[in-house]
Amino acid sequence: MTTKETLIKKLRDKTARIGILGLGYVGLPLAVVFGEAGFKVTGVDPDSRKVDSLNKGVSYIPDVKTESIDKLVKSGLLTSTTDFSVLKDLDAVSICVPTPLRQTGDPDMSFIVSATDELAKYMHKGMVVVLESTTYPGTTREVLLPKLGVERALTVGEDWFLAFSPERVDPGREDWTTINTPKVMGGITDACSEVATAWYEGAIQSVHSVSSAEAAEMAKLLENTFRMINIGLVNELAIMCERLGVDVWEVIDAAATKPFGFMKFTPGPGLGGHCIPIDPLYLSWKMKSFHYNARFIELASEINTNMPRYVVNRVMEGLNDRAKALHGSKVLVLGAAYKPDIDDVRESPALDVIALLRRKGAIVEYHDPYIPHIHHEAEGWQMESITDLMPAVKDADAVVIVTNHKVYDYQAIVESAKFIFDSRNATRAVGKNLENVVRL
Ligand SMILES: NC(=O)c1ccc[n+]([C@@H]2O[C@H](COP(=O)([O-])OP(=O)(O)OC[C@H]3O[C@@H](n4cnc5c(N)ncnc54)[C@H](O)[C@@H]3O)[C@@H](O)[C@H]2O)c1
């Protein structure tokens, strides 16, 4: 049998040993899905707290149940380590490391490079590697292929196999999870696609193969750019509706009654999370090397990035209408997570809203049941969430709803607050023309 046939056989009968590099929001659910499908999985992460927690059978990601981890650990199907040398005994490795932006807005490839360098030390014949981290088109071929194959004199598509398969996790979502969300797979060669697809089909319900790693990389960027641009569009619509004196929420609901040709997006205080604000900028960065300016991305990014400032201006106007200055006013920010009902504060617009309010001299507190502590690295301040919500709501000159968590009793909040700026239409169910509520 060829190396490819032997590997496919091991993947099909699940005797292949799986490795997941990076056990975060993406890697951990993936490790669980492979483990629950019957593969023996080894997680590798330099963060010893995560590794210790998993080896004790305890999850740290809300979407992954502790019972699932505990069961897999006890049955020997999941072990985790900080020691990369385990890679020498593994057959199939997924890379799920972060891809943030540098302060300058350029891609920070350091995590992909360091994970690849570690893996390169233990590469051997008969291995398949899949990159899951969101990145610019060309990364798999330009960054991984030389380090893992060429420099080690292994022929890709014959001795080993390399593909890109974008993760599509939507944290907090229960209907579409890692196991039932179709997976796009694009190999460096056809044989690479074949091997990687055989592996993922053993655990994930549907795998859609494309003809190249670049097509798979670009598919992910299309998905996230589509969201970013449409959010930018409705954010600008909100700004235009305010000038026109029209309720943007009513307009969007009305447009959404059209059964075809329209998809509903809602405005808000700005983009957040690890993906939507960041990933499209990987594409626009890459396009600069082709002397091409990705104009839709730049424009949407400009509008979305300006939303926290717009929100703070509206809060200032709302206070002004109540004969108050923002400077010296007590402002309570409700919600710090970047979206409802999750514990993730990465890139959250709440951080910018709070920073801008503080800079204007407001006395700011925040409350978030999921985020006990925030740290604004660039500005060098930290805050703790208040714990006693309702007295703070009563006491505040302005309550700014940044994240519409379901746990909030909006009726009680509206009844108690002097003035609310609602950037998410969270108070919709309480009533439309509430005199103490201003909506985005
Ligand atoms: N979180 C999401 O909703 C989401 C959705 C789709 C795609 N993605 C993409 O998936 C990738 C991972 O995102 P995430 O949210 O899981 O990030 P994360 O920060 O939650 O997890 C990444 C993990 O990688 C570990 N790590 C760092 N360097 C490493 C190395 N050299 N070797 C091994 N592990 C290393 C970190 O310790 C961390 O545990 C990113 O590219 C992201 O854009 C994320």
Q: Give 131 Cα–ligand 1 centroid separation in angstroms.
A: 11
Which sequence positions are flagged as catalytic?
275
Helix locations, 209-359, DSSP H: 213-244, 248-255, 279-288, 295-321, 349-359
- pLDDT score recorded for residue 102: 87
Q: Give 97 Cα–ligand 1 centroid separation in angstroms.
A: 4
The pTM (predicted TM-score) of the whole model is 0.91
C-alpha to C-alpha distance for 199 and 12, rounded to whole angstroms: 7
Q: Which of 45, 117, 346 to mutate to test the pocket of ligand 1 (most atoms within 8 A of CB)?
A: 45
pLDDT in tens, the chain (440 residues): 999 999 999 999 999 999 999 999 999 999 999 999 999 999 999 999 999 999 999 999 988 999 999 999 999 999 999 999 999 999 999 999 999 888 787 899 999 999 999 999 999 999 999 999 999 999 999 999 999 987 778 999 999 999 999 999 888 888 999 999 999 999 999 999 999 999 999 999 999 999 999 999 999 999 999 999 999 999 999 999 999 999 999 999 999 999 999 999 999 999 988 788 889 999 999 999 999 999 999 999 999 999 999 999 999 999 999 999 999 999 999 999 999 999 999 989 999 999 999 999 999 999 999 999 999 988 899 999 999 999 999 999 999 999 999 999 999 999 999 999 999 999 999 988 899 999 99
Q: How is residue 404 written in tokens?
A: 């519409």
Q: Whose CA is nearest to atom 18 of ligand 1?
A: 24
Could you tell me what percentage of the chain is helix, strand and coil, using 3-state DSSP and rounding each to the nearest 5?
40, 15, 40
- pLDDT score recorded for residue 172: 82
C-alpha to C-alpha distance for 291 and 256, rounded to whole angstroms: 38
Which ligand 1 atom sits closest to the C-alpha of 95? 33
Q: In terms of DSSP bridges, do strands 183-187 and 160-164 run parallel, antiparallel, or are they unpaired?
A: antiparallel
Q: How is residue 428 written in tokens?
A: 């919709």
Q: How many residues does the chain have?
A: 440
Q: Give 21 Cα–ligand 1 centroid separation in angstroms.
A: 9
- pLDDT score recorded for residue 275: 84
Q: Give 96 Cα–ligand 1 centroid separation in angstroms.
A: 5
- pLDDT score recorded for residue 150: 76
Q: Give 114 Cα–ligand 1 centroid separation in angstroms.
A: 13
Q: Whose CA is nearest to atom 36 of ligand 1?
A: 22
Pocket of ligand 1 (CB under 6 A): 21-27, 44-47, 50, 96-99, 111, 114-115, 118, 132-134, 167-169, 171, 274-275
Q: Give 135 Cα–ligand 1 centroid separation in angstroms.
A: 12
- pLDDT score recorded for residue 101: 87
What residues contact residue 127 under an 8 Å CB cut-off, 6+ apart?
Answer: 7, 90, 91, 92, 93, 160, 161
Q: Whose CA is nearest to atom 26 of ligand 1?
A: 22
Q: Residues of 350-366 as b/e, b for ≥16 C-beta within 10 angstroms?
A: bbbbbbbbbebebebbb
Which ligand 1 atom sits closest to the C-alpha of 169? 5
What residues contact residue 258 under an 8 Å CB cut-off, 6+ apart?
Answer: none
Q: Which of 21, 84, 97, 184 to mutate to test the pocket of ligand 1 (most atoms within 8 A of CB)?
A: 97
What residues contact residue 81 under an 8 Å CB cut-off, 6+ apart?
Answer: 42, 43, 44, 51
